[in-house]
């Protein structure tokens, strides 16, 4: 594992992106970080997050203010990157997706509206972010939704002589969605392979202040549990998804805990709840400010290939350029399709983490002599 910590850092690249690999980021509608602030030379795809279907008509609701934001988003970014609109998200009711996906007429109406909105605002693709299907039937319905979306996309493209929209989905960190410690559900792998361009695997939030012990929020490894990026990504491959269709998620935020006893501050230390930051989360640039302002101790944990810092009773688990480089190397060792970040506005001002991910990705390609 040590070798991950000795990757050449800040390798300078001269080519932008000579490959078709995916280097994506989600942009959450927020006035503080306009789309124009995104450094598009670091990304191939930018996702608009999120639109939500109306709970009575099951079509996408676009109030005037949202329409203006959507139009600005694509007008700003479309010249330099591929844009996708993401539907759903963590705060969107899973019940509503279940209602849409379980009924053929409702699926058709939802699909029609989704394609119409994507085209009306000049997006290149759509993304389904259902967090999460909760039964075998809902997983089956999800597979059916993908299939019908793909069919509609193909026929719309041919009817209008346009390039087909891209179709992606954001999914759980592992192919089996854990309902509890004993039961899990399998994603519709066959439908994913046949109908999606790729999946965005949410390889984060694996530990958080909802647990009373500190842990890496997105550790590459975990010798003591399966809550690791490596386990999750391997599970998708083992589950049968084409590796090129698997895209690794990277969080641009840390998770914070309040330690029970400031003198017990390792991984697995007892904690009494969320630490500083909103709901126990902090943007990476805020973590660095916290480290600087408090003179926090910063620790690399080799076992999990993660980094954490602590000061007094505050504990923060996060990613930095070293851990991101390790993850990118790991993703390449599995021949994955690329990576994506959650979310724009959380990196440092000068995009340290996003830049490191891009440089590491290109470096690995050069070293492996891969032709894309
Ligand atoms: C955007 O990123 C590129 C590639 O790392 C860098 O050369 C450029 O200076 C950055 N631009 C801004 C405005 O940060
Ligand atoms: C449907 O949406 C409306 C408006 O947002 C809301 O007031 C209502 O509670 C929702 N109904 C259900 C069943 O979620
Ligand atoms: C959506 O439905 C309308 C009305 O039936 C139809 O004119 C339109 O072509 C459909 N759009 C798509 C993308 O299927
Ligand atoms: C932490 O939670 C576990 C299970 O939820 C519980 O058994 C344990 O007593 C808790 N520990 C502390 C220190 O609160
Ligand atoms: C991890 O998952 C595997 C199955 O993929 C299982 O056999 C093993 O018991 C799990 N390990 C832990 C620590 O939960
Ligand atoms: C750290 O904080 C000091 C003053 O508190 C400031 O001058 C310096 O720029 C900060 N460094 C970084 C890297 O944020």
Q: Over its length of 372 residues, how does the chain's per-residue pLDDT go in tens digits? A: 333 333 334 343 333 343 579 999 999 987 689 999 999 999 999 999 999 999 999 999 899 999 999 999 999 999 999 999 999 999 999 999 999 999 999 999 999 999 999 999 999 999 999 999 999 999 999 999 999 999 999 999 999 999 999 999 999 999 998 877 778 899 999 999 999 999 999 999 999 999 999 999 999 999 999 999 999 999 999 999 999 999 999 999 999 999 999 999 999 999 999 999 999 999 999 999 999 999 999 999 999 999 999 999 999 999 999 999 999 999 999 999 999 999 999 999 999 999 999 999 998 877 766 544
How many angstroms separate the alpha carbon of residue 112 from the centre of ligand 3?
A: 6
Tell which one of 116, 117, 153 to mutate to probe ligand 3, the residue whose CB is within 8 A of the most ligand atoms. 116
Residue with tokens 């399998």: 186
Closest ligand to C-alpha of residue 52 is: 2
| C-alpha distance across the termini of the chain, in Å | 27
Q: What's the pLDDT score for residue 16?
A: 38
How many angstroms separate the alpha carbon of residue 55 from the centre of ligand 2?
A: 6
For residue 16, the 8-state DSSP code is S
Atom 13 of ligand 5, residue of closest alpha carbon: 225
Atom 11 of ligand 6, residue of closest alpha carbon: 292
Q: What's the pLDDT score for residue 247?
A: 98
Q: Please confirm, yes or no, whether 131 is among the known catalytic residues.
A: yes
How many angstroms separate the alpha carbon of residue 40 from the centre of ligand 1?
A: 8
* Alpha-helical segments (H) within 218-368: 229-238, 284-294, 321-333, 352-368
Residue 66 in contact with ligand 5 by CB distance below 6 A: no
Report pLDDT digits (tens) over 115-144.
999 999 999 999 999 999 999 999 999 999
Atom 9 of ligand 4, residue of closest alpha carbon: 212
Query: Residue 119 contacts by C-beta under 8 Å, 6 or more apart in sequence?
Result: 156, 160, 162, 165
Residue with tokens 């988003």: 73
Q: Which tokens is 194 given?
A: 């046949």
How many angstroms separate the alpha carbon of residue 293 from the centre of ligand 6?
A: 7
Report pLDDT digits (tens) over 22-73.
999 999 987 689 999 999 999 999 999 999 999 999 999 899 999 999 999 9
Rounded CA separation 348/370 (Å)? 30
Instruction: Residue 335: name the closest of 229, 226, 247, 235 by CA.
Output: 247
Query: Contact at 8 Å (CB) between 363 and 44?
Result: no
Q: What's the pLDDT score for residue 223?
A: 94
Taking the complete model, does pTM exceed 0.85, yes or no?
yes
Residue 184 in contact with ligand 5 by CB distance below 6 A: no
**For 18, what's the count of Cα atoms within 13 Å in the CB-facing half-sphere?**
13
Q: Which atom of ligand 4 is nearest to the CA of 271?
A: 13
Q: Which domains does the chain have, with CATH numbers?
A: 8-251+320-368 (3.20.20.80)
Atom 7 of ligand 1, residue of closest alpha carbon: 41
Alpha-carbon separation of residue 218 from 15, 199, 203, 349 (angstroms): 30, 18, 6, 22
Q: How big is the chain, counted in residues?
A: 372
């Amino acid at each position: 594992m040590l070798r991950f910590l000795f990757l050449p850092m800040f390798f300078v690249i001269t080519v932008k992106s000579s490959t078709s690999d995916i280097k994506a980021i989600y942009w959450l509608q927020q006035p503080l970080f306009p789309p124009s602030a995104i450094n598009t030379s670091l990304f191939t795809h930018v996702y608009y997050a999120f639109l939500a279907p109306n709970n009575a008509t099951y079509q996408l609701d676009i109030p005037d203010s949202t329409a203006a934001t959507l139009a600005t988003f694509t007008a700003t970014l479309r010249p330099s990157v591929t844009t996708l609109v993401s539907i759903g998200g963590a705060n969107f009711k899973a019940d509503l997706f279940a209602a849409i996906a379980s009924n053929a007429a409702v699926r058709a109406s939802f699909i029609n509206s989704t394609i119409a909105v994507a085209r009306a605002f000049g997006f290149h693709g759509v993304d389904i972010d259902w967090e999460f299907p909760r039964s075998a039937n809902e997983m089956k319905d999800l597979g059916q939704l993908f299939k019908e979306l793909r069919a509609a996309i193909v026929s719309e493209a041919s009817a209008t002589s346009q390039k087909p929209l891209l179709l992606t989905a954001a999914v759980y960190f592992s192919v089996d969605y854990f309902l509890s410690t004993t039961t899990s559900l399998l994603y519709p792998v066959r439908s994913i392979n046949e109908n999606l361009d790729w999946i965005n695997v949410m390889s984060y939030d694996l530990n958080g202040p909802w647990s009373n012990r500190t842990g890496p929020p997105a550790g590459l490894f975990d010798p003591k549990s399966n809550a690791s990026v490596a386990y999750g990504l391997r599970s998708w491959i083992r589950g049968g998804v084409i590796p090129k269709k698997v895209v690794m998620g990277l969080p641009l935020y840390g998770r914070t805990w309040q330690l029970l006893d400031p003198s017990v501050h390792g991984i697995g230390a007892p904690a009494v709840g969320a630490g500083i930051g909103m709901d126990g989360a902090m943007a990476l640039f805020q973590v660095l400010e916290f480290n600087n302002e408090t003179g926090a101790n910063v620790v690399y944990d080799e076992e999990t290939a993660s980094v954490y810092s602590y000061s007094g009773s505050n504990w923060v688990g996060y990613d930095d350029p070293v851990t991101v480089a390790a993850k990118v190397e790991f993703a390449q060792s599995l021949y994955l399709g690329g990576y994506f970040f959650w979310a724009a506005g959380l990196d440092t001002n000068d995009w340290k983490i996003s830049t490191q991910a891009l440089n590491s990705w290109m470096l690995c390609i050069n070293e492996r002599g891969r032709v894309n």
